Amino acid sequence: MMQPSPARMYDALLGGSHNFEVDRLAAQRGSRLVPDLPRLALSNRAFLRRAVRFLVEAGITQFLDIGSGIPTAGNVHEIVRECDPRGRVLYVDIDPVAVAHSRAILVGDERYGAIEADLREPAELLARVRDTGLIDSGQPVGILLIAVLHLLADADLPAAKVGALREAVAGGSYVAISHLTSALRPDDAEALHHSSREGNQVGIQFRSRAAITAMFDGWELVEPGVVELPLWRPESDRDRHEEPGRSLGLAGVAVNT
C-alpha cells in the first residue's frame, strides 16, 4: 500500500500536480486539523525564493538543494536562472519518485541535475554529489535545507548533519534552513505531530527555537537571524503583514566563515 510522501504532500499543498490521492488526502487531513497548513507551505516557498535571491546577490553560483522534494512552480533552478543564467543547481532527495520527476523536468540542461541520497548519511550524500561533477567543491556553495530537517528524528542528530555539511564545503558557503517549530503555536504543532504518526507518515519534529538555532552552530548567521518565515527579509506587503505565528516555521541563513 502506497504511503503519503512529504515531498508529494508539500507539492499538493502548493497546488502542484506531481502527487497522488494518498498524498492529497494526507494533506487535507492535516489542513483540517490546522487550517493554516497551506499558508505554511506558501510562506516556506516564499522564504526559499528570497533566500536564493539573497545568495545569488552574495556571489553564490552553485546550489545544493537537499530534501528538495518535487520541483514545482518557482523552483530553485528557475529562480537561479532568472538571477544568474550561469548558475548550477543539484537537487537531492531520498524519494525516488521526487528524483524521477526532477530529472524529467530538468532533461536537456546540463547546469541542473537531481540525485537520490539521504541527509542522514552526509558522507555518502557528498560522495554522490561529487560524482555528478556539477558542484565544484573548491568553490562556495549555497546549501538549501528547506523544510527537511524536521523530518529527521532527534536520534538522527540533525544539527550534527548540518555540521558535517559545513565541514565539507568551502569557506564563503552559505546554508539556508527552514524548520517547523513548537515555539509559535504549540497546540497546532502537537496536532500535526500526532496526525503524522497516526497516518503512517514520516514523523514530523516540531522543535524549539533554541534547537533550531543550534543547527547553525559553527556558521555565522546573517541578519535578521532565526525568525519566523515571513520575517526573514520580507519583500512584499503580504510578508510584512503576516499575522505572527501563522506560518508555524522559523528560518535563517548563515555563512561559513
pLDDT in tens, 197-206: 554 445 678 8
Question: Which residues lie closer than 8 Å to 1 by C-beta, 6 or more apart?
Answer: none
Per-domain residue ranges of the chain: 35-255
pLDDT for 30 equals 58
pLDDT in tens, 49-107: 999 999 999 999 999 999 998 776 678 999 999 999 999 999 999 988 889 988 988 88
**C-alpha cell recorded at residue 64:** 545544493
**C-alpha cell recorded at residue 253:** 541563513
Question: 56 vs 104, 132, 175, CA distance in Å?
Answer: 25, 22, 13
- Label residues 49-68 b or e (16+ Cβ within 10 Å = b): bbbbbbbbeeebbbbbbbbb
Is pLDDT above 70 for 37?
no
Query: If 0-12 CB within 10 Å is exposed, 13-18 middle and 19+ buried, where does residue 42 land?
Result: middle
pLDDT in tens, 142-167: 999 999 999 899 999 999 999 999 99
pLDDT for 200 equals 46
Residues 209, 67: Cα–Cα separation, whole Å: 21
3-class SS shares of the chain: helix, strand, coil, % to 5:
45, 15, 40
More reliable by pLDDT, 235 or 55: 55
Answer yes or no: are the C-beta atoms of 173 and 143 closer than 8 Å: yes
Is pLDDT above 70 for 19?
no
Mean pLDDT across the chain: 84
Is pLDDT above 70 for 185?
no
Is pLDDT above 80 for 189?
no
Q: Does domain 35-255 have CATH number 3.40.50.720?
A: no
What is the β-pairing status of strands 174-180 and 220-221? unpaired
SS3 call for 62: strand
Question: Which residues lie closer than 8 Å to 47 by C-beta, 6 or more apart?
Answer: 146, 178, 229, 230, 232, 251
Is pLDDT above 70 for 245?
no
Answer yes or no: are the C-beta atoms of 123 and 98 closer than 8 Å: no
Left (φ > 0), alpha (ψ -120 to 50) or beta: where does 82 sit?
alpha
**C-alpha cell recorded at residue 177:** 534552513
Q: Running DSSP on this structure, what letter comes out for residue 172?
A: T
Question: Which residues lie closer than 8 Å to 62 by C-beta, 6 or more apart?
Answer: 87, 88, 89, 90, 134, 135, 136, 139, 140, 141, 142
Residues 197, 4: Cα–Cα separation, whole Å: 12
Mean pLDDT of 42-55: 92
Alpha helices for 133-245 (secondary structure H): 158-168, 186-198, 209-214, 237-240
